[in-house]
Amino acid sequence: MREILLGYGIFAMYYVLTINTIYFGIILFSFKEISKILKSTTFSKYKSLSGSNNVPPISILVPAFNEELTIIENVRSLLALHYPKHEVIVVNDGSSDDTVGVLIKEFELQYYKPTSIKDVIKTAKVRGLYYNPDYPNLYVVDKENGGKADSLNAGINLSSYPLISSIDADSLLEEDALIRIARMYMEKPEEYVAIGGNVRIANGCKIENGVVKNVKLPKKLLPMWQLVEYMKAFLGGRIGWSSVNGLIIVSGAFGVFRKDYVVEVGGYRGGYPGEDMNIIIKLHRHMLENNLPYKVAFCPDAVCWTQAPDTFKILGSQRKRWGRGNLKNMIEEGRFMFMRPKYKIMGWLTIPYNIIFETLSPYFRITGLLALIGYALMDMSGWKILLVFSLINILYGTLLGIGSMLLEEIAFQRYPRIRDFFKMLIYTVLMFFGYRQLGILWRFLGHIDFFRKKTSWGTMVRTSFNEDKKSA
Amino acid sequence: MEQQVGSRIIQTFHHFLEYYQESNLACGMIIARADLNAKELEKLKAHMERLEPEVGVQFSHDQTEGLVGILLDNRTIGYSHFYSLYVKDFLEENGFLSGSILVGSFPESSPYAEQMLFDMVSEIISENGPQGEIRVFKKENNKKNDSILIVDSDEKVLELVTSYFTHKGYTVHTATDGKEGVAQYEKHHPSLVITEINLSALGGYQFIHHIQHLEAVKAAPIMVLTNKQLEEDVKRTFEYGVSDYVTKPFSLMELESRMVKLLQAVHS
């Protein structure tokens, strides 16, 4: 019995070690890619591009559910983006607060019957369209509640441009974020089907008039952990995944898509969270099945700032949602691509990695931990091996964290102070004592929700960016 | 540009002048070229209060520029001139005076209180007359009193335009986004506005729309200087009543000649 427990425990340890090793490989790709990114961004003239005739127009879709606190500031900053031609489509998803009302008041919008909205993708009933010719590129769609995916689909139905961009109503884009993605898109317009932006944590930053003026690290524990986590996922992970065209997700907070392909794969899937990962997997599948050359890319210099949850309750609910969405996506799409040669890097690497090391990780990790605890209770003699394994695990993880921070310092330098670097480093190490374990637990609870067919969206409490300004 | 003539005096009197402007009450203003410290300023204050106890008066000084500013509550240009004679005597006797004295009053000398102080300070800094001379400030006194407001998020453009046009004798105010632009416009009432369309906080179109619908003041001509090269933008800005449209990269000479033409139309 003892041997079995130890054996399983050690197997779980190797499992974790393998995750880290794969991640290490991905980070190496990120490093390889970063010099290319640096060169192409420093020598691009974004200012003149932002007024050029040759940049494709973009429809920005902003699904809004109970966003009356932040929506005005958000729309203002979207309208003022430095971009030659874009329209902002706010889709009110049957909010119970006055989201539509505050928009109508602020922009003096007029009601129109939704006759101009095409029916490309089926959505919940659209109640009306609001518009004011003084703001010719702002549209507000008011529809009945149908979820975020449904709102995005309604936005697609109204949009008039070939590119669409999905943006969370609680996020803020940097003024040149869109033009930076467009620059990348224009390199190979026939190949790029989706490009994701870099999501950064705005907690602790000073925000004025919808613009992040003073970048600072968050003061609170949870946002700080998420900052380190995001940096690792986005810079360390997604740059590398993108360079091998194995990116499985473009963050729902900010991404740009080819509208024709999104429509071809049937638009966003409703009913479940994780629609941002779902659309990317569907795009991969569609393009590979039809033998079309394509790329799903990550554009790290296009920045979107978002407010990270700062309480355990909200963060937990977000992570459970992610866990539920991830499981659904793997059951619905992932398993059809698992280890199938037709799906190339997606089939051989991305999907297997996600199923084995992301979706199933709670089971291996939790049972592994239990086995080790059980073993330790029966016999203490193996503690040295366990300690060595744990240390290797933490050191490996820290190394990956440092790698991501180096990428940040090489290419972006948003946190230039030495003190900030060490603060991030400390939190990278601290992550292994509590935060990681919580993340695993939340994902597991998300799976339980999935099997209990829970459909509610959980709590997501918005705080106004203005409030943040006051407290900062 | 405020930073350039960022005299302490302007900051000290800012709220007072805002008040006079809003309530449309008169005030006298004396700016003297003199080197004295806080203690010596107190002396001047005590001296003047003894001589003219009736008048409400505020003193401020700027040691780095070597300036003294005096604000007289509810006084005309005549009285301010009379008052400045005493000030001159005191400054001269104590050896503080290092140049000329400039006297003005709101609203006689200028309809914009803050702009008046601003112009007075820049005038005395740029052309300091002979020691002891008392000049009356008149808006027409300046060869080119035209002030320009330029709004652009690109600091380099602001720097370039500011240095060029300041050198040419204009007063240049700057703002980096639409909201700040509106604030600067309301404060300085420039003769001409140059703006980018790509602006944060308040977009270019909203900024233009806003300043054209400010009540009480006739809007200054607006010139667009932008990265935007789309025909729709050109069309739309002219529909908004903008006077001219220049795209980047731009030539300063061209910008100046277009500006001069617009300003001539304003003056005629």
* Cα–Cα distance for residue pair A141/A127, rounded to 1 Å: 8
Whether residue B6 is predicted with pLDDT greater than 90 in this model: the reply is no
The DSSP call for residue A125 is P
Instruction: Please give, rounded to a whole number of angstroms, the shortest distance from the CA of B50 to a CA of chain A.
Output: 47
Instruction: Please give, rounded to a whole number of angstroms, the shortest distance from the CA of A228 to a CA of chain B.
Output: 29
* Beta pairing partners, B106: B27
Instruction: Please give, rounded to a whole number of angstroms, the shortest distance from the CA of A95 to a CA of chain B.
Output: 26
The answer to whether A412 and A301 are in contact (CB under 8 A) is yes
Asked if A208 has any chain B CB less than 8 Å from its own CB, the reply is yes
* End-to-end CA, chain A: 56
* Beta pairing partners, A298: A196
Contacts of B239 (CB under 8 A, 6+ apart): none
Closest CA to A349 of A443, A430, A433, A284: A284
Hey, what are A6's tokens? 């130890």
Mean pLDDT (chain A) is 91
Going along chain A from its start, the domains and CATH numbers come out as 1-43+188-252+259-472 (no CATH), 57-161 (3.90.550.10)
Share of chain A above pLDDT 90, in %: 77
Q: Which of A437-441, B142-146, B179-183 has the lowest mean pLDDT?
A: B142-146
Closest CA to B72 of B28, B104, B108: B28
Whether residue A29 is predicted with pLDDT greater than 90 in this model: the reply is yes
Average pLDDT over residues A153-168: 95
B→A contacts (Cβ < 8 Å), by residue, are: 153-154, 177-179, 197-203, 206, 209, 226-230, 232-233, 236, 247-249
Write down the pLDDT at residue A469.
Answer: 38
Determine whether the interchain pair A211/B236 forms a contact, defined as Cβ–Cβ distance below 8 Å. Answer: no
- H or E, element range at A194: strand A192-201
* Strands in A44-109 per DSSP E: 58-64, 86-93
Write down the pLDDT at residue A69.
Answer: 87
CB contact burial B154-170 (16+ within 10 A = b; e otherwise): eeebbeebbeebbeeeb
Question: How many C-beta neighbours within 10 Å does residue B211 have?
Answer: 22
* End-to-end CA, chain B: 26
Instruction: Render A230-268 in DSSP notation, one character per residue.
Output: HHIIIIIIIHHHHHTT------TTEEEEEHHHHHHTTS-
Range of A2-6, B3-7, B22-26, B233-237 with top mean pLDDT: B233-237
Determine whether the interchain pair A51/B209 forms a contact, defined as Cβ–Cβ distance below 8 Å. Answer: no
* Cα–Cα distance for residue pair A19/A358, rounded to 1 Å: 9
- The pairing of beta strand A126-131 with beta strand A110-112: antiparallel
* Strands in A18-143 per DSSP E: 58-64, 86-93, 110-112, 126-131, 138-143
Write down the pLDDT at residue B106.
Answer: 87
Write down the pLDDT at residue A112.
Answer: 94
Instruction: Render chain B in DSSP notation, one character per residue.
Output: -TTTT--HHHHHHHHHHHHHHHHT--EEEEEEEE---HHHHHHHHHHHHHH-TTS-EEEEEETTTTEEEEEEET--HHHHHHHHHHHHHHHHHTT-EEEEEEEEEETTT-S-HHHHHHHHHHHHHHS--STT-EEE--GGGSTT--EEEEE-S-HHHHHHHHHHHHHTT-EEEEESSHHHHHHHHHHH--SEEEE-SS-SSS-HHHHHHHHHT-SSSPPPPEEEEES---HHHHHHHHHTT-SEEEESS--HHHHHHHHHHHHHHHH-
- H or E, element range at A192: strand A192-201
Closest CA to A85 of A142, A165, A141: A165
Q: What is the CATH number of domain B8-141?
A: 3.30.70.100
Instruction: Please give, rounded to a whole number of angstroms, the shortest distance from the CA of B234 to a CA of chain A.
Output: 11
Determine whether the interchain pair A209/B154 forms a contact, defined as Cβ–Cβ distance below 8 Å. Answer: no
Of B199, B209, B226, the CB nearest to A80: B199
Write down the pLDDT at residue B223.
Answer: 96
Determine whether the interchain pair B203/A80 forms a contact, defined as Cβ–Cβ distance below 8 Å. Answer: yes
What does residue B230 show for φ and ψ, rounded to 5 degrees?
-75, 140
CA distances from A370 to A200, A376, A394 (A): 35, 10, 19
Write down the pLDDT at residue A468.
Answer: 41
The size of the A-B interface in CB pairs under 8 A is 61
- Mutation pick from A44, A54, A72, A76 vs chain B, by most beta carbons of B within 10 Å, is A76
* Cα–Cα distance for residue pair A280/A296, rounded to 1 Å: 8
The answer to whether B109 and B76 are in contact (CB under 8 A) is no
Q: Which residue has the higher pLDDT, A469 or A148?
A: A148
Distance of CA B85 to the CA centre of its chain: 25
Share of chain A above pLDDT 70, in %: 96
The answer to whether B212 and B206 are in contact (CB under 8 A) is no
Chain A residue closest to B240 (CA)?
A134
Within 8 A of A210 by CB-CB distance, chain B residues are 200-201
* Cα–Cα distance for residue pair A389/A367, rounded to 1 Å: 16
Chain A residue closest to B227 (CA)?
A51
Hey, what are B9's tokens? 């005096």
Instruction: Render A395-451 in DSSP notation, one character per residue.
Output: HHHHHHHHHHHHHHHHHT-SS--HHHHHHHHHHHHHTTTTHHHHHHHHHHHHHHHHH
Instruction: Render A328-346 in DSSP notation, one character per residue.
Output: HHIIIIIHHHTT-GGGHHI
Whether residue B141 is predicted with pLDDT greater than 50 in this model: the reply is no
Chain A residue closest to B198 (CA)?
A82
Range(s) of chain B covered by CATH 3.40.50.2300: 147-267
* Cα–Cα distance for residue pair A147/A274, rounded to 1 Å: 12
Q: Which of A225-234, A308-317, A461-470, B76-85 has the lowest mean pLDDT?
A: A461-470
Name the CATH topology of B147-267: Rossmann fold (3.40.50)
3-state SS, residue A311: coil
CA distances from A438 to A305, A405, A432, A444, B239 (A): 24, 23, 10, 10, 58
* Cα–Cα distance for residue pair A97/A91, rounded to 1 Å: 14
Max distance between CA atoms of chain B, in angstroms, equals 68
Q: What is the pLDDT of residues A174-226, one digit of tens each?
A: 999 999 999 999 999 999 999 999 999 999 999 887 888 899 999 999 999 99
Of B178, B198, B229, the CB nearest to A53: B229
Range(s) of chain B covered by CATH 3.30.70.100: 8-141
Q: Which residue has the higher pLDDT, B36 or A102?
A: A102
Q: Confidence class of residue B18 from pLDDT cuts 50, 70 and 90? A: confident
The answer to whether A59 and A155 are in contact (CB under 8 A) is yes
Asked if A414 has any chain B CB less than 8 Å from its own CB, the reply is no
Instruction: Please give, rounded to a whole number of angstroms, the shortest distance from the CA of A79 to a CA of chain B.
Output: 7
